[in-house]
């Protein structure tokens, strides 16, 4: 039997446009600790920025990055639940 204190849940993180190119991947499954409640978009971003390098540079405060959870635009303080899809992308301009 698995110890529930060390169990994790996951979210699917999708990278679009310049982020897909910078991170050299379109998506990944990110494990989340079960002892943090609620987990927020800001927590996801902090976890990714902690990787350093291009991750920290592209997701740094002040960089233009939008977030959608389950296809709905959201703020950084929005909660994220296990199984959610979190999409990160730069603002889109038309022309």
The pLDDT assigned to 6 comes to 42
Tokens of 74: 């959201």
pTM of the model: 0.85
Q: Is the pLDDT of residue 93 over 90?
A: no
The pLDDT assigned to 3 comes to 41
- What's the chain's average pLDDT? 89
CA distances from 60 to 6, 20, 55, 74, 84 (A): 29, 16, 8, 18, 23
The pLDDT assigned to 33 comes to 74
The pLDDT assigned to 82 comes to 92
Which tens digit of pLDDT belongs to each residue from 25-63? 999 999 987 777 889 999 999 999 999 999 999 999 999
The pLDDT assigned to 2 comes to 39
CA distance 54 to 89: 15
CA distance 68 to 85: 8
**Domain layout of the chain by residue ranges:** 8-89
CATH architecture of 8-89: Roll (3.10)
The pLDDT assigned to 94 comes to 59
């Amino acid at each position: 039997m698995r110890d529930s204190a060390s169990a994790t849940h996951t979210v699917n993180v999708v990278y679009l446009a310049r982020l897909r190119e910078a991170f050299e991947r379109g998506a990944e499954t990110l494990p989340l600790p079960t002892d943090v409640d609620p987990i927020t978009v800001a927590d996801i971003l902090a976890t990714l920025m902690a990787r350093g390098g291009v991750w920290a540079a592209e997701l740094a405060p002040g960089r233009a990055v939008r977030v959608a959870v389950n296809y709905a635009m959201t703020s950084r303080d929005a909660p994220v639940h296990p199984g959610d899809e979190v999409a990160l992308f730069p603002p889109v301009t038309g022309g």
